[in-house]
Amino acid sequence: MRRRTIVRTAVAACSFSLLAVLAPAAQAHGGHDSHGGHAGPGSAAYKRVGYFTQWGVYGRNYQVKDLETSGQAGKLTHINYAFGNIGTDGRCFTGNVPGEADAWADYVRPLDAAGSVNGTADTAEQPLAGNFNQLRELKAEHPGLKVMISLGGWGWSDNFSDAARTPASRKALVSSCLDLFIKGNLPLDSGRGGAGAAAGLFDGIDIDWEWPGSPGDTGTAYRPEDKKDLTALVHEFRTRLDAYGKTRRKHYDLSAFVPTAPAKIDAGFEVPKLMRDFDFVNLQGYDFHVSGETTTAQQSALYARDDFSADSTVDAWLKRGAPARKLVMGMPFYGQGWTGVTGGGDGMGQPVTGGPAPATWANGSEDYKALKKLADSGTYKLYRDNRNGSAWLFDGTTLWTYDDPQVLTAKTGYIRHRGLGGAMFWSLDGDTANGELMTAVDRGLNRR
pLDDT, tens digit, 9 for 90 and up, residues 158-191: 999 999 999 999 999 999 999 999 999 999 999 9
Q: End-to-end CA distance of the chain, in Å?
A: 34
- List Cβ neighbours of 164 (8 Å cut-off, separation of 6 or more): 170, 173, 212, 226, 229, 230, 232, 233
* Per-residue pLDDT tens over the stretch 263-290: 999 999 999 999 999 999 999 999 999 9
- Residue 326 scores a pLDDT above 80: yes
Q: What pLDDT score does 170 carry?
A: 98
| Rounded-to-10 torsion of CA 161, 162, 168, 170 | -30
Domains in the chain (CATH in brackets) are: 32-333+405-446 (3.20.20.80)
Q: What pLDDT score does 26 carry?
A: 34
Query: pLDDT-based confidence at 45, cuts 50/70/90?
Result: confident
In the annotation, is 210 catalytic?
yes
Distance CA 31, CA 439 (A): 28
User: Which among 210, 236, 366, 436 is annotated as catalytic?
Assistant: 210
Q: Provide the whole-model pTM.
A: 0.91
**Contact in structure between 32 and 417 (CB atoms under 8 Å):** yes
Q: What pLDDT score does 44 carry?
A: 56
